[in-house]
Amino acid sequence: MTDCPNLATCSFFKKYEQDASMQLALQGFVNKYCKGDKQSQCVRKK
């Protein structure tokens, strides 16, 4: 599966990418919703 084409400009990703306390959670979301099988369920993508 390819990565979401919106990942580089996603406001959710941008908001939390520099927050050290959110890195583990962010990686989980990215792996599922941006790079994984739940891309069609992403609210930001809709």
46 within a domain of the structure (yes/no): no
Q: Residue 35 has what DSSP assignment?
A: S
Our count of domains for the chain comes to 1
18 within a domain of the structure (yes/no): yes
Expressed as residue numbers, the domain containing 19 is: 7-41
12 within a domain of the structure (yes/no): yes
31 within a domain of the structure (yes/no): yes
SS3 21: helix
In this prediction the pTM is 0.78
Query: Per-residue pLDDT tens for 12-33?
Result: 999 999 999 999 999 999 999 9
24 within a domain of the structure (yes/no): yes
The pLDDT confidence band at residue 35, using thresholds 50, 70 and 90, is: very high
22 within a domain of the structure (yes/no): yes
